[in-house]
Structures are given as C-alpha cells and as structure tokens.
Chains A and B, each alone.
Chain A
C-alpha cells in the first residue's frame, strides 16, 4: 500500500475551489519535492505540478500546489468539467529508496 495518503474523492460545482491533501512523512514529503499528476479517464498520467508548486508550461494557473512539513496540497480554483480526473501526489522516499505515489483522489464535477 502507498505511504502517501490522499482522500479517495473530492467534488465541487463548476467555478468552485477544490483542495486535495496528501499526507506523508519525514522520509518523503518533508525531505523531498512533491509532484502532482492528473490522469483523465482512459489516458496516461500527465504532470500537473512539480517541485511542490511549479506548473509546467501549458497547465492552467487554476492549479496550484503547496507543501508544509509532512503534508502537501493541490488546489483547483474555478473548477471546470474537464478537471474531472484522478489526481496523484508523489515524492521520493529516502527510507524506501524509491518513488512513491499517493493513493489517488477522484475529482468529480457536479
């Protein structure tokens, strides 16, 4: 099972703000950068946020990331129907000497 814990689901109406938490430990989130990936239904994952709060070119500024201690958070402001997807946090784990993904959060736009 994953060492990074996310809520299984989150939802909101169009235009609302949704936040997804990612809880880890001193071996992963506290020590290393957190990245976020978006996976639309039936497609490969896509990088959404890297190094805690950096957006790759092409990712709307509605998406933002933050980190504090052993937790991280992804916020989606101005929720849109195309944001309906699975979201995963991830980080390197110094104890496991490997990369770990979060349990994943399914975002539903009501």
Chain B
C-alpha cells in the first residue's frame, strides 16, 4: 500500500524556520518525482515545490522562492521541505504528493497524497 506520512508541522513565530518531512512506503521512492502542496485554512490548493527523482530539477512557486528549499533522500525514502523566513501567509496544511507521468507527458500529475501537516505562523 502506498503511504506518504508528513511530519514536522507546528507553531512557529514570524521570521522563524521549520523543516517538514514526508516518509514514504509502499513504492520505489527513487523512481518518482515529488511535490509539496499547501492549503491555507478555508482556502484552495497551492502548489509549493517540485523535485525530480535525482534532485536534478527543482521548481518553486514564486510565493516561496528564496525562502523554502525542497530536498530528498532516496536511501531514507524521505522528502523534505526546509522553510525559512516564515510569514503569516505561510500558515497552511502542507501535503506531500507523488508525481506520476502519463505516456510522454513532460509534467506529472499527483496520484498519491499524504494526510498533511499543519504549519501555523503566529506570534
């Protein structure tokens, strides 16, 4: 069974840092690209970041560029999101999501999601 389990969320002050983790099981982690997606309370989904299988390609949403860093450890089957200079508007549930490609498509769709971890930025 495919499982993605996020951890590391919590309450942090504005300007602070936090590191999220996503533990993977049930599939060959090194064969899949991965993403972080967030959802502010009562709001819609917002894609945050993408990382390719070998970490060779990384992309960020403009809203987090320069403040967040995505990484992965294929040996540990884990995905990470290092968040710095946090703002109130970063308050959200953060989901990790597996990327899968269809046919010759250049970009993935997200076929498996974790349950999310809540990050609250507040003084």
Q: Which residues of A contact B (CB under 8 A)?
A: 2, 32-33, 35, 37, 39, 43-47, 50-51, 54, 56, 86, 88, 90-92, 96-104
A50-B102, A97-B59 as given contacts; A44 in contact with B95, CB under 8 Å: yes
How many residue pairs, one in A and one in B, have C-beta atoms under 8 Å apart? Answer: 73
CA distance A32 to B103 in the complex (A): 13
Tell me whether B114 and A101 are in contact (CB under 8 A).
no
B105 to chain A, nearest CB (A): 5
SS class of chain A's interface: helix, strand, loop or mixed? strand
Bound Cα distance A37, B16 (Å): 32
Query: Given the complex of chains A and B, what is the CA–CA distance between A50 and B45 in angstroms?
Result: 17
Q: Assess whether B113 is in contact with A50, with CB atoms less than 8 Å apart.
A: no
Task: Name A86's closest neighbour in chain B (CB-CB).
Answer: B44
Q: When the two chains form the complex, which single residue of A51, A86, A100, A101 contacts B102, counting CB atoms closer than 8 Å?
A: A51
Q: Tell me whether B32 is interfacial, beta carbon within 8 Å.
A: no
**Interface secondary structure of B, over-half rule:** strand
CB–CB A100/B113 < 8 A: no
User: Which size bracket describes the interface of B in this complex?
Assistant: 20 to 34
B106 near A37 with CB under 8 A, answer no
Q: Is the CB of B95 within 8 A of A2?
A: no
Contacts of A98 in B (CB 8 A): 47, 50, 59-62
With A32-B106, A33-B105, A44-B95 as known contacts, state yes or no: A103 contacts B114, CB within 8 Å.
no
Closest residue of chain B to A105 (Cβ to Cβ) is B44
Contacts of B103 in A (CB 8 A): 51
**Given that A98-B61, A100-B47 are contacting pairs, would A44 and B109 also be in contact in the complex, using a CB cutoff of 8 Å?**
no
